[in-house]
Amino acid sequence: MDFTEIDSLKSELASLRPLSGAELQRLREEFMVENTCDSNAIEGNTLTLRETALILREGLTIAEKPIREHLEAIGHRDAFEYVLSLADADAPLTGRAIREIHSLVLMNDAKNRGVYRNIPVTVVGAARTPPPPHLVPELMATLTADCGAAPPGRHPIEAVSEFHLRFEGIHPFVDGNGRVGRLIMNLELIKAGLLPVNIKFADRRRYYDCFVDYDENGSMDMLTGLIAGYETYELKKYISILKS
């Protein structure tokens, strides 16, 4: 896949004046609210974008929506802020960091938060069954080690795509795997000097098909293309703001 446009946009963004602290905070907050809404919606949360914003910005309670959905929004926000802190510190991705992200995402599940699963699971629509629980710690250790030893010259979007597909295939947690996986995706994109991306609820079918294609054909191209498209959009948006 050709990443020439993304690399060019990344260079152009780097050449422009930096965003002020207030501007960066506003854009990150807008992204966080939208990303929280979409990422949770992919997993079945019914909060609208406006409801998500009211919960996260105003601390309001939406009367007709369950507390669980409120906690999912708050947990995702807290996990995103933790991801930003890891990216700012350029911290290596470790099993501990992944479990910390999961612990925040699953703040409403005291039993399972931050703990690798100890039971078999199935994924509806998946071509493969996730590995048995006793293999999860070893597989996750291998995955994070591979992430830290990416071959020179490999484009970050390719590396992020492979990690996400392998992570979701391991399915290391009882719940929250999709949300955690997408947060890790953004952590690694930011560390690579790119922008976080938001996989929209409206594109969920295309997103699911990426995993089917990988399971059946071993191809990462669908997910790589999806992430690249979102990255191009985010880079162009930031550049437009800075040029306005």
- Which residues are CB-contacts of 11 (< 8 A; sequence separation ≥ 6)? none
User: Could you tell me the two tokens for 133?
Assistant: 């629980």
Tell me whether residue 155 is one of the annotated catalytic residues.
Answer: no
- The answer to whether residues 102 and 113 touch, using CB atoms and an 8 Å cutoff, is yes
d(CA 184, CA 92): 11
**Three-state SS annotation for 91-109:** CCCCHHHHHHHHHHHCCCC
User: Could you tell me the two tokens for 178?
Assistant: 């999709």
Q: Which of 102, 155, 164, 171 is catalytic?
A: 171
CB burial string 178-210: b at 16+ within 10 A, e below: bbbbbbbbbbbbbbbebbbbbbbbebeeebeeb
Residues annotated as catalytic (active site), given as ranges:
171
